[in-house]
Amino acid sequence: MSAHPQPDSRSHPERETGHDRGSLVEVEHDAYGTPGVVRLTLNRPAAFNALSEALLDELHAQLAALEKSDARVVVLAGAGRAFCAGHDLKEMRAAPSLDYYQRLFARCTKTMLTIRRLPQPVIARVHGIATAAGCQLVAMCDLAVAADTARFATSGVNLGLFCATPAVPLSRNVMPKAALDMLLTGDFIDALAAKLHGLVNRVAPLDGLDAEVAALAASICAKPRDAVSMGKALFYRQLEMGVEAAYQLAGQTMACNMMMDTALEGVQAFIDKRPPEWRR
């Protein structure tokens, strides 16, 4: 959903049906000069990167392709003046049927859950606006770095459309009253408020945004791949459990982790007072 004014995507057919559909999501390997960092850039700048059906499909395909790749960290960015203005409302309004909307939101959910299921951490690089499903995208990413000029809103309610699907990850990132404030008012919050509420991890000046993203990605890439992927999976699984079940799962995960070569090397290196030698 998006309450931000958008140009009609049908007036820019090259963005949707050009010779290279992959242009809807630009892919950069070894981004920021760091091996293993893959940057995916939403590429509908004239429409504030609104999530058309074609863009959702392409984003899902690119994310899914990374699952078994050598990528260590994924960065999700937006081209032009904004990160993402949510769903393409004109496209949605052109086919008003319950069946269509159910299929559309199922398609969006599939894409969002792919982010969660990837073994690699996904970092949202946010500038401009992130509204409705765009805000959902930020909340669904594992980490987020925002420019100090970025703004966030779940603005569907302004159009009589409660942002129900964005509410799912928002309510799992942001304090309940702050999340409900955003959902019920549709008002924008700035990057500092987003950090205070837990929606983003770091805030940087716009001209230093890429440096901040690069530093975070490089820090993660310096850690053992298996520990990071295992840790991400454990983190989300235990959140959905009661505390006793979470401890059981965490204990089993740590025991298995301790048997891995990377942990054995890391602990021995600590004992030997030397840097660990990770196998890439």
Q: Which tens digit of pLDDT belongs to each residue from 224-237? A: 999 999 999 999 99
What pLDDT, on the 0 to 100 scale, is given for residue 95?
80
Q: Tell me what pLDDT residue 174 has.
A: 95
Residue 24 lies in a domain: yes
179, 203, 221 - which closes a domain: 221
Residue 16 pLDDT exceeds 70: no
The pLDDT-based confidence of 252 (bands split at 50, 70, 90) is: confident
Q: Using alpha carbons, select from 89, 6, 26 the residue that is nearest to residue 52.
A: 89
The answer on 124 and 97 residing in a single domain is yes
What is the total count of domains within the chain? 2
Is residue 214's pLDDT more than 60? yes
Query: Do residues 119 and 244 both lie within one domain?
Result: no
Pick from 37, 133, 118, 122: which is nearest to 83 by CA? 133
Clarify whether residues 41 and 156 are in a common domain: yes
pLDDT (tens digit per residue) in 52-61: 999 999 999 9
> Do 215 and 232 reside in the same domain of the chain?
no
Same domain, 150 and 268: no
Structural domain for 155, as ranges: 9-221
Strands (E), the chain: 25-28, 37-42, 73-78, 122-126, 129-131, 143-147, 151-153, 189-190, 202-204
160 lies in some domain: yes
For residues 147-171, average pLDDT: 95
Please tell me whether residues 86 and 211 are part of one structural domain: yes
Mean pLDDT of 153-164: 94
Same domain membership, residue 262 and residue 204: no
**Weakest-pLDDT range from 40-49, 92-101, 184-193:** 92-101
Structure token pair of residue 94: 């052109």
Query: Does residue 134 lie in a domain region?
Result: yes
The answer, yes or no, to whether residue 8 has pLDDT greater than 70, is no
Q: Is residue 1 part of a domain?
A: no
* Separation of alpha carbons 91 and 266, rounded Å: 52
Answer yes or no: is pLDDT of 50 > 90: yes
Residue with tokens 């863009």: 55
CATH code of the domain containing 259: 1.10.12.10
In whole angstroms, what separates CA 233 from the centre of its chain? 15
